[in-house]
């Protein structure tokens, strides 16, 4: 009875584990990936084949042209001679010699050649100044340099005596001093009004003569360079960066104005935003170049680049205002009420509670507005400034490089792509860093 199932009764007992079998060929490795990602259905297979064909077609047309590129020649005719000698008559080959020949012009325009160190130094200053704003790991002491940088960069780019930027900076110091020293004795309101009015009076009536006198006594400075000599990516960069930095505070103010309960402020903000956004930038630029002289007192005439910067700033401020308004609207009403309940006044609650959260929500929109602004700097070509596209036209107009298109477009396109793409990546980084939600 004991051992019913003796070993003898059973025909076969497996004593060792079998090794695991390989999955079917179609279910592993590259083949599986291909099947799942490229040929999972008929539609997908057709799409894959079509896109591969497209990629092949584009590469077949451009790659030989690119790889055969001639980098070393003085003119298009010379380029073609080298190409004919190297690859045979009339073969498609790029002529990148135009870039090696003219890259300085594409970057700096007609800025004097011996002064190229100044825009380069200005660019380095810009990076040093912007670093502590963009990245939290950079030491905070650098922010002091950030405050001084605009004046330094202005001096480096345009030259002239150092007293011009210094007196302008003095105006800001006066404003700061009003707030710092007048608040105690006279009250905050009077101090604020003084901090706005005194610098304006100083700039309008005192700064000019003061700078001139100081310049006569102590002529320290750099060789002046006029705005008409600016060009290429330097011009795009100056207009773009100035527009970006100036338009953000203005845009935030406009957004607050649009949210305001004060009837007049609200309506003026709405009107301004809709007016600016309703009309294309190019029309505003023409307005700046054709009509501004009508609106200003007879005889005033100011720098075309300054006009462009003002127009671009106003234009993108209106767009930023709308983006920030979206951020303000997305905040729960409880945040506003909590700020009120804490007893904060309007500006305190905005500064400490509302704006930090609203701006965080609005970051993607703000950065894409900035990217748009930077791309729109190319439009200045229509009012006679030499941005990279304008320069490509004038390079093409010379006898040496008459008839060259694609190489210049490629260079300009890649440069813009690098700037804009890195801006959009930075905004993604910032978004990730600022996320406070639990995941």
Binding site for other proteins (CB under 8 A): 36-38, 40, 44, 47-48, 51-52, 54-55, 189, 261-265, 268, 274-275, 277-283, 286-287, 290-291, 293-298, 371, 375-376, 378-379, 381-382, 389, 405-406, 409, 412-413, 416-417, 420-421, 424
Q: CB-wise, 132 or 240, nearer to other proteins?
A: 240
**Closest approach of Cβ 429 to other proteins, in Å?**
16
Q: What are residue 436's phi and psi, to 5 degrees?
A: -110, -5
**Closest approach of Cβ 315 to other proteins, in Å?**
11
Angular region, 19: left φ>0, alpha ψ -120 to 50, beta rest:
beta
**Closest approach of Cβ 357 to other proteins, in Å?**
20
CB 317 within 8 A of CB 251: yes
Closest CA to 51 of 62, 63, 39: 39
**Closest approach of Cβ 127 to other proteins, in Å?**
20
Q: CB-wise, 93 or 211, nearer to other proteins?
A: 93
Q: CB-wise, 36 or 81, nearer to other proteins?
A: 36
Q: CB-wise, 228 or 396, nearer to other proteins?
A: 396
Cα separation, 29 vs 345, whole angstroms = 64
**Closest approach of Cβ 68 to other proteins, in Å?**
18
> Based on C-alpha coordinates, what's the Rg of the chain?
31
Q: 100-105: which pairs have CB atoms within 8 A and are 24 or more residues apart?
A: 100/71, 100/72, 101/73, 101/74, 101/400, 101/401, 102/395, 102/401, 103/411, 105/231, 105/232, 105/391, 105/395
**Closest approach of Cβ 291 to other proteins, in Å?**
6
**Closest approach of Cβ 186 to other proteins, in Å?**
13
Place of tokens 């801006």: 423
Q: CB-wise, 158 or 416, nearer to other proteins?
A: 416
Q: CB-wise, 277 or 351, nearer to other proteins?
A: 277
Cα separation, 309 vs 352, whole angstroms = 31
Q: CB-wise, 12 or 42, nearer to other proteins?
A: 42
Percent of the chain that is helix, strand, coil (3-state, to 5): 75, 0, 25
Closest CA to 411 of 429, 394, 426, 391: 391
């Amino acid at each position: 009875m004991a051992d019913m199932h003796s070993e003898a009764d059973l025909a076969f007992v497996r004593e060792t584990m079998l090794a695991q079998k390989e999955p079917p060929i179609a279910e592993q490795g590259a083949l599986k990936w291909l099947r799942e990602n490229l040929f999972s259905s008929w539609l997908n297979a057709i799409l894959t084949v079509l896109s591969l064909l497209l990629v092949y077609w584009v590469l077949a047309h451009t790659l030989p042209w690119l790889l055969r590129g001639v980098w070393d020649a003085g003119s298009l005719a010379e380029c073609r001679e080298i190409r004919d000698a190297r690859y045979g008559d009339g073969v498609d080959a790029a002529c990148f010699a135009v870039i090696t020949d003219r890259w300085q012009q594409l970057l700096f325009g007609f800025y004097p050649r011996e002064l190229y160190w100044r825009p380069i130094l200005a660019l380095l200053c810009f990076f040093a100044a912007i670093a502590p704003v963009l990245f939290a790991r950079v030491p905070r002491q650098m922010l002091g340099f950030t405050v001084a940088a605009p004046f330094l960069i202005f001096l480096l780019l345009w030259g002239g005596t150092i007293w011009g930027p210094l007196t302008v900076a003095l105006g800001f110091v006066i404003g700061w001093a009003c707030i710092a020293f007048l608040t105690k004795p006279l009250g905050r309101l009077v101090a604020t009004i003084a901090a706005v009015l005194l610098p304006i009076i100083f700039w309008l009536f005192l700064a000019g003569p003061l700078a001139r006198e100081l310049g006569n006594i102590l002529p320290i400075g750099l060789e002046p360079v006029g705005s008409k000599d600016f060009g290429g990516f330097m011009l795009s960069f100056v207009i773009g960066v100035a527009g970006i930095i100036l338009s953000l505070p203005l845009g935030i103010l406009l957004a607050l104005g649009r949210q305001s309960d004060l009837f007049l402020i609200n309506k003026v903000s709405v009107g301004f935003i809709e007016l600016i956004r309703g009309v294309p930038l190019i029309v505003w630029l023409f307005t700046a170049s054709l009509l501004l002289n009508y609106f200003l007192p007879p005889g005033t005439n100011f720098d075309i680049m300054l006009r462009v910067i003002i127009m671009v700033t106003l234009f993108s401020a209106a767009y930023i205002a709308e983006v920030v308004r979206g951020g303000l609207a997305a905040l729960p009403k409880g945040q506003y009420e909590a700020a009120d309940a804490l007893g904060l006044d309007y500006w305190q609650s905005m500064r400490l509670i509302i704006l930090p959260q609203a701006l965080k929500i609005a970051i993607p929109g703000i950065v894409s507005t900035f990217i748009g602004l930077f791309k729109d700097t190319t439009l200045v070509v229509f009012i006679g400034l030499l941005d990279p596209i304008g320069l490509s036209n004038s390079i093409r107009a010379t006898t040496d490089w008459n008839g060259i298109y694609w190489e210049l477009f490629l260079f300009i396109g890649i440069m813009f792509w690098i700037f804009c793409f890195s801006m959009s990546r930075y905004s993604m980084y910032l978004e990730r860093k600022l996320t406070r939600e639990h995941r």
